[in-house]
A and B are shown apart, each in its own frame.
Chain A
């Protein structure tokens, strides 16, 4: 795009051109009434398939969408300047739209169709909001998005309902064997809401004129030729099966006629020629809806021909507007004058297109209108194929007749406004026209003219679709032709032209009249009211529910916890169940329990941070004792390790925080909290007793022991549960640990994931403050490499010696716990904690450089490797045809050690081990090393001013 500039649009035009070529290649099959089908499995378990299909109607739509797409993309190459900003974004949105629209047209699966449907909505949003700095364009984009996604959501519900009723999401299958009943009626109407909103039918019509904020090529393509036809296409696809749905014809015909009249009437007073066309499009869409929703052969034939004609003439007209706008810099029809003389080619093209729109011979629009009158007049007869009462048929005829007069009038207004030389208006300043710029509209209008003489061919193309419907006169099927004889349709056509001319002649009077009889409300106003009310409601609800206080939210959560299970408990207690309790299994539990309760109460009363944590730690160690007494050595071991790590980490952070909690005035609300807490505690205890004593089923875990040995090849049931039976759970848990570690690191390091690992060698000028004993580098004969970086009063030689002696033993022990954990107490968690403790001892003895020497790796690398190893060992079995996280075992003879029993889930445990080790390392790096550095920096800041003063 950057190198080619605007010429890139010509390259992009090749994409839809390929679609045109493909569609033409399929024409033989399709015109014989055949259907091209392609189906690919997508999500077989949910029954989703990518079903693409091409029948006569879709073939025609593909040609329209892709063909007009080629012309419009080529036109863009002259419409935009090279300097235009946002062209890359524009062209990608545009080409994405072309793809989505083509997908929409050929989708057979309803859900797939919905996906494409919403994709076109999104592209439309992006293209209307092409200029995000302009508020009007932003507003129009949001409005179009809101209206069409509202319809889209209704449609999704309808489609799901329809799919459920029919038992399939294939449109072909649904239409072949349509379901019926109330649910189906609701489903069809929901789908229709989506279709009507997309096609800008009353009451959703207001978004389309707003969408004219988009660049003109977008208006020509999305909002005239293709996207707004999507709703009509859906109606056309559904009408063979659902035309007899209650309300279908009365509502759709009424809405269609009303839309046609509203759009035409409004178009008659527009000053901006582009807005004039937009209202004309709304009018035409209503007209097309009338024809496509009737469900008779003649109407379908006329409707489809008119869809084709409309795509051709409306995009021609929009492209002409784009040219006029570019050359003169205005779209105001009171300012434009004498443009037609300067750009005759464009004026002729637009004139032909306008003639087609007005239904003049010999253009395609005329062919469509002739057959249209025939189709509508059928409705005025008794026993017509659509089953409409003759009086209603007459109403439709009159409505469309009036609408057609408006069409002729606003066509004239447009042509006069854009191209005529107006007396008393200064001729517009017209820039020179680049000849290829006009090629698009000329080509499209010529096509409209040419097809006017090809009535038989167009009839043939549409016949496979039209033959789906009953015909009023099967002996003499209607066809498209320039001359049907001097019959009523021709007279009606002539009448519309005459009345239209008259309406054009009195245009100023009409505008005054329109001003005086303005409707009290407009769709856009209602839309704004709804938007405003929804917004106000959201503000009120949020303002009421979100009080902004964390403790209030927590209180609500606790109350809900209490209310839900608590109610169940009370109800169960009312039944007077037999409560089966024992005081204790072991009197030791009572002793430990009392200590824990006392510690908890004193924790609450504590005003000092450190004391509170130590007392809370007492409850933790108490838990470990309870686990031992219960017969759960694994968790006891882990609990003790975790409690120790927690305490050290807490102390590392608390050196930065004040000793005492902030003093705040005791408020009465405290008693409320106490009461709530007491009820929570009592409630939990009650639930445990009631639920426990009413348990009748046997625990699922009674089979765990045997299963652990048979399938997990391990004797430590808890460990096998973690790495095999419930391994998914464990995997989720270590992922949470990774997230927590990342969160901690980012809160402390702020700017980077970690501060990097600063080795001893880099500490040439140690920043340990005054009194550093040695400069960096490893002093000879020292027990540990790095304590020299600490100030002497922080060093303890005994500690250093002990650390030196036990560090490696602890690491070896942790590896032993890891490997043996499958059969003996231990496992990845405990082993990782032990390894973490070893690192912690090194850090405490020798400071942050000692930690870096102990494990000169970034904590994130250790954690990430752990998660990777765990995932890899989980996925490994797939390669051997097993399930994810399945365990296998193998016996290996190793010299000296004898036969080893290797179990594949050890790999998973190694991952856990690494994650846990990495987590502890991360905590030491952040709360330890990083805070050390922050404290030092602050000390220096404090010292510095004194030095200056001294």
Chain B
């Protein structure tokens, strides 16, 4: 299969830019990065379908001249899924703005707490809840 270099470069550039934005703090920028990444991946899938051709409609062209329909079906699915993801992240960005006044992704407080436990060489809460006060309530026995 001959690879279309233009498509590959576009895909690489979009995915690179998308990945850069994905690593940002601002949820909106992450979202924009996701859009770029999604478009880049779609172009990448397109580039796997071989040479351009006639639109894949049975009977309108020779089957050998048609463009590959399978990547197109996958891209179609991906496009709509991206819309769903974008909408969801937008809602999250909006909610985050409502709650904190900005849309920066915060460090997970639960993770930070566990990290502190690790630094303190302590056990988890659930461990304490089942076993703390280990020997207090051992049964009484004769001869003690």
Binding site for B on A (CB under 8 A): 135-136, 138-139, 142, 209, 269-272, 275, 508, 510-515, 528, 531-532, 535-536, 538-540, 542-544, 546-551, 554-555, 558, 579-586, 589-590, 593, 596-597, 600-601, 603-604, 609, 612-613, 616-617, 619-620, 622-623, 626-627, 629-635, 638-639, 642, 645-646, 649-650, 653, 656-658, 661-662, 664, 673-674, 676-678, 680-682, 684-685, 688-689, 691-693, 695, 699-702, 704-706, 708-709, 714-718, 721-722, 725-726, 729-730, 733, 736-737, 739-741, 743-744, 747-748, 823-825, 829, 916, 919, 923, 926-927, 931
Contacts and interface: CB of A to CB of B under 8 A. Distances in A.
A510 B142 CA distance: 9
Given A584-B6, A657-B103, A681 B17 contact: yes
30 contacts: A136-B137, A270-B142, A510-B143, A532-B123, A535-B126, A536-B123, A538-B124, A554-B22, A589-B7, A597-B14, A600-B17, A612-B29, A613-B32, A619-B36, A632-B55, A653-B93, A657-B28, A658-B102, A661-B26, A677-B19, A682-B16, A692-B2, A695-B1, A705-B63, A715-B59, A722-B76, A725-B73, A744-B91, A747-B88, A926-B91
Given A269-B141, A532-B127, A653-B93, 8 more contacts: A138-B129, A515-B143, A548-B112, A627-B75, A632-B72, A638-B79, A661-B26, A704-B70
Contacts of A142: 130
A664 to B, nearest CB: 7
Nearest to A716: B57
A515 B141 CA distance: 9
8 closest Cβ contacts across the A-B interface?
A681-B16, A543-B118, A548-B111, A685-B12, A511-B143, A740-B84, A701-B70, A677-B20
B83 A645 contact: yes
Interface string B50-63: 11111111111001
B72 A616 contact: no
Contacts of A623: 39, 42-43
Contact of A702 (B29, B63, B86, B110): B63
B42 to A, nearest CB: 6
Contacts of A627: 46, 72, 75
Contact of B15 (A681, A721, A733, A823): A681
A673 B32 contact: no
A916 B112 CA distance: 40
A733 B91 contact: no
B84 A531 contact: no
A585 B53 CA distance: 9
B91 A692 contact: no
A865 B96 CA distance: 31
Contacts of B102: 658, 662
A273 to B, nearest CB: 11
A704 B13 contact: no
Contact of A630 (B52, B123, B144): B52
A597 B110 CA distance: 39
B131 A528 contact: yes
Contact of A631 (B20, B26, B55, B122): B55
Contacts of B29: 612, 661
B39 A688 contact: no
A548 B12 contact: no
A685 B76 contact: no
Given A543-B115, A646-B83, A630 B11 contact: no
A740 B76 contact: no
Contacts, number: 396
B69 A718 contact: yes
B52 A631 contact: yes
State which size class the interface on B falls in.
35 or more
Given A626-B43, A632-B72, A539 B114 contact: yes
Nearest to A750: B95
**Would you call the interface of chain B mostly helix, strand, loop, or mixed?**
helix
Given A135-B137, A631-B67, A514 B76 contact: no
A708 B58 contact: yes
B142 A927 contact: no
B114 A705 contact: no
Contacts of B108: 546, 548-550
A631 B53 CA distance: 5
**Would you call the interface of chain A mostly helix, strand, loop, or mixed?**
helix
B79 A635 contact: yes
Contact of A685 (B8, B17, B82, B84): B8
Given A688-B48, A715-B57, A741-B84, A589 B4 contact: yes
A740 B88 contact: yes
A698 to B, nearest CB: 10
B123 A555 contact: no
Contacts of A539: 114, 117-118, 122-124
Given A538-B124, A730-B77, A747-B95, A620 B17 contact: no
Given A270-B142, A548-B107, A582-B4, A650 B84 contact: no
Given A631-B55, A662-B26, A705 B133 contact: no
- From A603, A629, A926, name the one whose CB has the most chain B CB atoms within 10 angstroms: A603
Interface string B92-112: 111101000011110111111
Contacts of A510: 143
A549 to B, nearest CB: 5
- From B23, B25, B76, B143, name the one whose CB has the most chain A CB atoms within 10 angstroms: B76
B114 A546 contact: yes
- From A209, A582, A692, A927, name the one whose CB has the most chain B CB atoms within 10 angstroms: A692
A565 B52 CA distance: 26
Given A539-B122, A629-B52, A919 B35 contact: no
Nearest to B34: A616
Contacts of A642: 79-80, 82-83
B107 A549 contact: yes
A255 to B, nearest CB: 24
B53 to A, nearest CB: 5
Given A546-B108, A584-B5, A684-B15, A733 B131 contact: no
A465 B71 CA distance: 66
A52 to B, nearest CB: 37
Contacts of B88: 740, 743-744, 747
Contacts of A725: 73
Contacts of A691: 48
B19 A681 contact: yes
Given A626-B46, A693-B1, A699-B50, A736 B56 contact: no
A75 B136 CA distance: 33
Contacts of A635: 72, 75-76, 79
Given A603-B36, A620-B39, A829 B58 contact: no
